[in-house]
């Protein structure tokens, strides 16, 4: 199965791949290079979401999409918190190319206020949190409406995370070897739940 590369011009999005920099909860790069890929089913849903957002004068900024299983293990070893991270023993929808982390940006390229930063591991990141400003609640509702109308499911603990419905059992867990060019640093061992 070939993953679809996500980015302009085919996909009108901004890419800020968080795990390719130190600007993430581990405070160091996890990926050796930025890359944005999705399973073809997820890419089709994203294309629909892009059209729906464009009709409102909005675009997406993508923080992460396909996450090699090796990266999921690295994140889990750093912060094994099942409230915010999928246990790599079960397989993350990200490692299936079936999930995307994103936000909305306006016509000037500014992020809409969502009440917390991406990857803020706090109850304030939960959908329906009433402690964040009303404007941020509204922005989350707009994002939720666009994504669910485009065929995505949401994860209640993270306003930024959307995935295909019931991905486990439908899509295989993939490692870095599924990519045409590796994203993981050279010498990264193959994930334990993948065949070498």
Per-residue pLDDT tens over the stretch 113-144: 999 999 999 999 999 999 999 999 999 999 99
| Residue 183 belongs to a domain | no
Burial 8-24, CB ≥16 within 10 A → b, else e: eeebebebbbbbbeebb
Active-site choice (70, 83, 131, 158): 158
| Residue 130 belongs to a domain | yes
Give the pTM. 0.96
**pLDDT computed for residue 196 by the predictor:** 46
**pLDDT computed for residue 85 by the predictor:** 93
Domain count, the chain: 1
| Phi/psi at 83 (5° precision) | -70, -25
**Which CATH number is 139's domain given?**
3.30.1380.10
| Residue 13 belongs to a domain | yes
pLDDT in tens, the chain (196 residues): 699 999 999 999 999 999 999 999 999 999 999 999 999 999 999 999 999 999 999 999 999 999 999 999 999 999 999 999 999 999 999 999 999 999 999 999 999 999 999 999 999 999 999 999 999 999 999 999 999 999 999 999 999 999 999 999 899 999 999 999 999 999 898 888 775 4
Nearest to 93 by CA among 101, 81, 102, 103: 101
Average pLDDT, the chain: 96
State yes or no: is 14 an active-site residue: no
| Residue 74 belongs to a domain | yes
| Residue 193 belongs to a domain | no
Domain holding 54, by residue range, is 4-178
């Amino acid at each position: 199965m070939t993953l679809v590369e996500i980015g302009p011009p085919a996909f009108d999005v901004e890419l800020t791949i968080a795990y390719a920099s130190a600007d993430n909860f581990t405070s160091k790069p996890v990926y050796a290079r930025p890359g944005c890929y999705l399973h073809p089913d997820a890419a089709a849903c994203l294309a629909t979401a892009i059209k729906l957002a464009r009709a409102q004068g909005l675009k997406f900024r993508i923080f992460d999409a396909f996450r090699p299983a090796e990266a999921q293990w690295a994140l889990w070893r750093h912060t094994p918190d099942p409230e915010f991270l999928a246990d790599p023993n079960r397989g993350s929808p990200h490692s299936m190319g079936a999930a995307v982390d994103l936000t909305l940006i306006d016509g000037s390229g500014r992020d809409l206020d969502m009440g917390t930063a991406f990857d803020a591991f706090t109850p304030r990141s939960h959908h329906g949190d009433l402690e964040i400003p009303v404007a941020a609640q509204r922005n989350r509702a707009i994002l939720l409406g666009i994504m669910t109308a485009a065929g995505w499911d949401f994860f209640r603990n993270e306003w930024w995370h959307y995935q295909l419905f019931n991905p486990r059992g439908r899509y295989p867990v993939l490692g870095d070897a599924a990519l045409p060019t590796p994203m993981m640093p050279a010498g990264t061992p193959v994930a334990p739940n993948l065949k070498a």
